[in-house]
Structure 1
Amino acid sequence: MATTDRQATTLALAHALSAAERGLAVIPLSRTKLPALRSPHRDDPAPSPLPATPFEQGELPTPRCHGECGRFGHGVYDASTDPRRIRELFAAAPWATGYGIACGLPPHHLIGIDLDTKSGTDSSAALRELALRHLFTIPATVVVLTPSGGRHLWLSGPPDVVVPNSASRLAPGIDIRGAGGYLVGPGSRTEHGVYGTAPGTAQLAPAHCPPELLRLLTPPPRTHHRAPSATGQHDQGLVQFVLAAHEGQRNTRLFWAACRAYENGFGPELAGALTEAAVRTGLTEREARSTIASAARMSVERPRPEQN
């Protein structure tokens, strides 16, 4: 490895450790801005699609591993604030020249507003227009400058709201990094240059996301035909389904139950109860929230057939 690469790796590790001290979970990145460690499951056969009625079929497929196997290479699911683990991650990827900061995790529940310059639109002006139209202001917060001239605004979200990733959904040239996504950390060196913080923002904490902006970032409730239930039996059935999980099937059951909740339009309302149920079965709160966030993203992205 060239001396400059070794220096870049050393600097990236130092910046990653500094970010972790601020409560930001990190992973090593390559010069391409992708996770530096390849998936240990890249040669595994593709998982079967989710069955429509697992309760009736009596079995569940195994969703994509989120690190339960204990090996590195699971992208943001490897992210950590533990200095020892971070050093191990970088030791396993000595070619890393940057680091990513996982979004959506406690304590900051980071939301990244990526103002792109490559789309040919003025994304900063688009954000100002949105702010005027919806009556919010962006508070003073961390601003990261990208090599291409773009900006990343760091905001803090509430713990009970899942903000999905999106590209130009809010406005042309504005990408959102939410649960399951990551931001390139300041100090990272990529093939296009070095990321750095804007003057005067490096020591700021991520500011709270304005409620008006947060409403724009969260997907609207799904329209659905749900039979009225005064007792909430369907909701409780999903919670009980998670509580009945044994070791080896806890994450799978939680993932399936969360998918069903989001597909039926009450995922955000049930997320807390599902998290609590998963923790009671032995998962950590972080693992549970990560799995529920994955289910939310999948449900948002998956087209849903029209109901008559």
Structure 2
Amino acid sequence: MSNHENALDNALRAAAQDYAVAPTTINKTPAIPSPHDKGHSCKGQCGQPGHGVYDATTNAADVRRLFALAPKAVGYLIACRGRLVGLDIDRKNGVDGYATLAGLGHEHGFAIPEMTTTVFTPSGGAHLWMTVPEGVTVPNSVGRIGAGLDVRGTGGYVVGPGSTGRAGVYVFHPDLGYTDPQPVPEQLLRLMLPPAPLVRPQRRSSPMPGDAAGRALEGLVNVVLNAPQGERNSKLYWAASKAWAHVGDGHLAAGDVEAELIAAAVQVGLSDGEARRTVTSAERGVRA
């Protein structure tokens, strides 16, 4: 059986268990190219494939169709949606996520459920699948809760077991196999959720005719929300620079710019502190 056939077989098995899946490349990225130009905001509303995690489906016929469109796919993603979240524990480049997690557990008084779904990664780490209470939205984050710990929340995904990456194959814990994801410990869930936003007095200036300022800010927020991994900070800086220029012209309020852009950046995985520093840096650049 080829790696492509193996990935499809495992993806179909996951879909039968009601996990939404889509094909991935050997680099663990979505395997179907986008049908849109760069910078689009479509999340599948157009009806075409090529929207990454938003292609994910539990329908077997659709899974087969997606894999047929991605002949080089050797893995699959599992979308974190509904109550499912993933905790990605990295152990590489001198960082030990297991040690970080143990330290957080000791400090905050929690333990990871022993029987939750565990998928070992080729680099020596693991993906832990867990659940959150109904209606709770956990954002994606990279290293925010601790070194070597990434959170895969709403709009994110984990790599499915049986997938092939450049370093090897993702496999279930050999002693557990598949088990139902268990609830995230309450203390860990608090760390995963973003801090409450600072409430600042906001002075709204008069919008441009037809509320063009609001539409402009919405467009800049979408640039941040659709920024690919590795470009999120640079896209935030670009969007913030444009937004601060509108503030300088008197068309947007500074408080609106900060609140909207920082919230979007946190949603796509930047830490609140990192997002604030980038937005502030962009303001200094515009005023220089």
User: TM-score by structure 2 length?
Assistant: 0.71
Aligned to 1:64: 41
The number of equivalent residue pairs is: 232
Instruction: Report the Cα distance in structure 2 between the residues aligned to 1:305 and 1:95, rounded to whole angstroms.
Output: 43
Say whether 1:38 aligns with 2:33.
yes
Instruction: Find 1:13's aligned residue among 8, 15, 18.
Output: 8
Aligned to 1:225: 200
SS at match of 2:200: coil
> Is contact 1:119-1:173 (8 Å) kept?
no
Gaps of 5+ in 1: 48-62, 228-251, 268-292
Aligned to 2:103: 129
Say whether 1:158 aligns with 2:129.
no
| Residues 19-66 of structure 1, C-alpha deviations (whole Å, 9 max, x = no match) | 11222111101111111111111xx2x55xxxxxxxxxxxxxxx6100
Instruction: Find 1:101's aligned residue among 59, 78, 82.
Output: 78
SS at match of 2:33: coil
- Residues 177, 73 of structure 1: alpha-carbon distance in 2 compared, 3 angstrom cutoff: same
SS at match of 1:9: helix
Instruction: Find 2:92's aligned residue among 118, 123, 131.
Output: 118
| Residues 233-261 of structure 1, C-alpha deviations (whole Å, 9 max, x = no match) | xxxxxxxxxxxxxxxxxxx99x98xx98x
Equivalent runs, 1:282-293 vs 2, <5 Å? none
Aligned to 2:210: none
**How many angstroms does 1:297 deviate by?**
3.5
**How many angstroms does 1:296 deviate by?**
3.9
- Residues 80, 71 of structure 1: alpha-carbon distance in 2 compared, 3 angstrom cutoff: same
| Residues 160-179 of structure 1, C-alpha deviations (whole Å, 9 max, x = no match) | 22212122111111111111
Instruction: Find 1:87's aligned residue among 49, 64, 70.
Output: 64
Instruction: Report the Cα distance in structure 2 between the residues aligned to 1:19 and 1:8, rounded to whole angstroms.
Output: 16
Say whether 1:216 aligns with 2:187.
no
SS at match of 1:15: helix
- Residues 190, 74 of structure 1: alpha-carbon distance in 2 compared, 3 angstrom cutoff: same
Aligned to 1:174: 149
Write the letter of the residue equivalent to 1:168. Answer: G
| Residues 3-31 of structure 1, C-alpha deviations (whole Å, 9 max, x = no match) | x6xx2111111111111122211110111
**How many angstroms does 1:294 deviate by?**
9.4
Instruction: Report the Cα distance in structure 2 between the residues aligned to 1:96 and 1:165, rounded to whole angstroms.
Output: 24
- Residues 298, 169 of structure 1: alpha-carbon distance in 2 compared, 3 angstrom cutoff: closer
- Residues 144, 298 of structure 1: alpha-carbon distance in 2 compared, 3 angstrom cutoff: closer
Write the letter of the residue equivalent to 1:100. Answer: L
- Residues 206, 112 of structure 1: alpha-carbon distance in 2 compared, 3 angstrom cutoff: same
Instruction: Report the Cα distance in structure 2 between the residues aligned to 1:85 and 1:159, rounded to whole angstroms.
Output: 27
> Is contact 1:123-1:174 (8 Å) kept?
yes
- Residues 119, 158 of structure 1: alpha-carbon distance in 2 compared, 3 angstrom cutoff: farther
- Residues 295, 74 of structure 1: alpha-carbon distance in 2 compared, 3 angstrom cutoff: farther
Larger mean CA deviation between 16-25 and 293-302 belongs to 293-302
> Is contact 1:119-1:172 (8 Å) kept?
no
Write the letter of the residue equivalent to 2:85. Answer: I
SS at match of 2:92: coil
- Residues 125, 298 of structure 1: alpha-carbon distance in 2 compared, 3 angstrom cutoff: closer
Instruction: Report the Cα distance in structure 2 between the residues aligned to 1:305 and 1:222, rounded to whole angstroms.
Output: 16
Gaps of 5+ in 2: 203-217, 226-255, 282-288
Aligned to 1:185: 160
SS at match of 2:3: helix
> Is contact 1:112-1:153 (8 Å) kept?
yes
Say whether 1:263 aligns with 2:234.
no
| Residues 94-134 of structure 1, C-alpha deviations (whole Å, 9 max, x = no match) | 1111101111x12xx22111111113122112111111111
Write the letter of the residue equivalent to 1:87. Answer: R
User: TM-score by structure 1 length?
Assistant: 0.66
- Residues 85, 294 of structure 1: alpha-carbon distance in 2 compared, 3 angstrom cutoff: farther
